[in-house]
Structure 1
C-alpha cells in the first residue's frame, strides 16, 4: 500500500515538473517574440503553426538533460 502511494506521489511530482518546464519554456520563447500570440484564427496555416509550436515545446520540455 505504501509503495503505491510513493509511486503516485512521484508521478504527481514528475507531472508538475513537466508542466513547469513547459510553462517556463513557453514564457521564455514568448518573451523573445519567438512564439506568436495564441489567437483564434480561421487561417489553417496559423492553426498549424500553433499546433506545431505546442508540440515542439512539449517535446523539448520533456527532454532529460
Structure 2
C-alpha cells in the first residue's frame, strides 16, 4: 500500500514538473517574440545613427555660419 502511494506521489510530481517545464518553455518563446518587436533591426539603427549624425553636422555648420556673420 505504501509503495503504491509513493508511485502515485511520484507520478503527480512528474506531471507537475512537466507542466511547469512546458509553462517555462512557452514563457521563453513568448519573451523571445516580444523582444524581437522591441529591438530595432541593425539596418534601421544604422540609418537612424546616420540621420542623427547628419542633423548634428547640419546644426553645427549652421551655428558656425550664423556666428561668422557677427
Question: TM-score normalized by structure 2?
Answer: 0.47
Higher helix share: 2
C-alpha distance in 2, partners of 1:7/1:13?
A: 10
1:15 and 2:15 correspond: yes
Q: Alpha carbon RMSD of aligned pairs, Å?
A: 1.3
Could you tell me which residue of structure 1 aligns to residue 28 of structure 2? 28
1:2 and 2:2 correspond: yes
Question: How many residues matched?
Answer: 34
Runs of 4+ in 1 over 4 A off after TM superposition: none
Q: Which has the higher contact order (CA 8 A, sep 6+)?
A: 1
C-alpha distance in 2, partners of 1:6/1:26?
A: 30
Instruction: Compare CA radii of gyration and give the structure with the larger one.
Output: 2
Instruction: Provide structure 1 residue ranges, at least 5 long, that are not aligned to the other structure.
Output: 35-65
Question: TM-score normalized by structure 1?
Answer: 0.50
Q: CA deviation at 1:30?
A: 0.5
